[in-house]
Amino acid sequence: MPNLEKIHEIEAAANKARDKFADFKKKTLEDPTLSAHGKQKRIDERHEAIVETLTELRQTYAKIIDETEGRLKDAAFPTPTGSDAMAYDHYVFEMSRGEITPAERLSRLEQAGSDNTRKALAKSAFIAGDYSTLEAFAKLKGDAKEINSFLQFRRDYGTGKSRRAKFSESMLFRAPSKK
């Protein structure tokens, strides 16, 4: 999957930075040549630097995830070009409205005559949060690698991640304790 290496490198860099700070803090607190004020001053200075580093890493991490999610979404739900584009966009809009039930979307998917109609229904299902229709589209199409890649990335890293994943991410980039 694209950019996963970069994401994992950033995660590793954040962990390494936090570990280095913890090691520095431990050695500083054990240093008998420094006064309590001197120890705290060194720790405070290094803490500022680690907070800045973690902030930069978090921003880069978020940027890579946003760009990757956008690219995967565009690959999963491509808009046709030419004369079909307007009809496709209109159909996506109509089928993603709240009044359209998942059952109706699924029924239309099963009756769809063209690949563009099926793709429009898949995109509208995503917009509406109708994942059962998306799964049915994947089965009908046979090869829904792009949609599956997008949805998996979105669940693991992007806007669809779980509360647990959000918590883990916030813990990864949080400032370490100075005390």
Q: What is the predicted pLDDT for the residue at 67?
A: 94
Q: Report the 10 Å Cβ neighbour count for 57.
A: 18
Alpha carbons 3 and 141: distance in angstroms, whole number: 26
> DSSP character for 65?
H
What average pLDDT does this structure show over 99-118? Answer: 84
For residue 174, the number of C-alpha atoms closer than 13 Å in the C-beta half-sphere is 9
pLDDT digits (tens, 9 = 90+) for 9-68: 999 999 999 999 999 999 999 999 999 999 999 999 999 999 999 999 999 999 999 999
pLDDT digits (tens, 9 = 90+) for 115-143: 788 888 888 988 888 887 887 777 776 65
Q: What is the predicted pLDDT for the residue at 83?
A: 79
> DSSP character for 74?
H
Q: What is the predicted pLDDT for the residue at 11?
A: 94
Three-state SS for 126-170 is HHHCCHHHHHHHHHHHCCCHHHHHHHHHHHHCCCCCCHHHHHHHH
Q: What is the predicted pLDDT for the residue at 143?
A: 58
Contact present, 141 and 118 (Cβ < 8 Å): yes
Identify the CA nearest to 76 among candidates 18, 153, 23, 17.
153
Domain locations along the chain: 1-76+145-179, 82-142
Contact present, 14 and 57 (Cβ < 8 Å): yes
Q: Model's pTM, two decimal places?
A: 0.80
Alpha carbons 149 and 1: distance in angstroms, whole number: 8
Assigned token pair, 101: 């039930």
pLDDT digits (tens, 9 = 90+) for 64-91: 999 999 999 888 888 888 878 888 888 8
